[in-house]
Amino acid sequence: MLMKCTAIIFLDRMKKLSVLGRISIFLVIGCVASLWFLPMWRIDLAAPQYPEGIFMEIWINDIKGNVDVINGLNHYIGMKTIHKEDFKEFIYIPIALMVFCGLGLLVLLLNRKVGYYIWALIFFAIAGVSMYNFWKWEYDYGHNLDPTAPIKVPGMAYQPPLIGYKKMLNFEALSQPDVGGWFFIAAGIIVVGVSFYEWKQAKKQLK
């Protein structure tokens, strides 16, 4: 009977999160929460007529920066104008991230490794869908051009880079995470690292 009780306690302990796992939940939620206060992504544009450069900041619920200037330039090559109201993601993404943070608190309350693993998968599902939607928007933005635009270059598309550098006509574009985006990436690194650590700890205890 004593051995049976000891085995049950041991197995229950294996299923529980470590101290590191519990602390990491607060760190991840803090990193994700920073997106409400910091820009997530940034696209910088440079050209001879704009030596100081122009930029666009993408937040989880807004677009800021030199948006009016970019819209004015895009008119000449037939690209759509950019308006906050056109992005349904600005409604869905904040809700998805709030749910994710709430689930993190639930995982902390339940204190189970499997809950943490599922939470990590949800994080990457949100990240993957968000990046795909961003790429899809860029593709539509750069390929579906107004045929009556003043400037037409046959076969030319103006899709901005998802990440990295690209030259389009006389403009150079650089797309990269902004401060909030780096916090989000840090959250991803934490959930991967801690998930691996929790799995290794469980495997070690089993042996």
pLDDT tens-digit series, residues 46-105 = 888 887 888 999 999 999 988 888 888 777 777 778 888 878 888 899 999 999 999 999
Global confidence as pTM: 0.84
Q: What angle do CA 188, 55, 153 make, to 5 degrees?
A: 110
Distance between CA atoms of residues 116 and 192, nearest Å: 10
**DSSP category for residue 53:** E
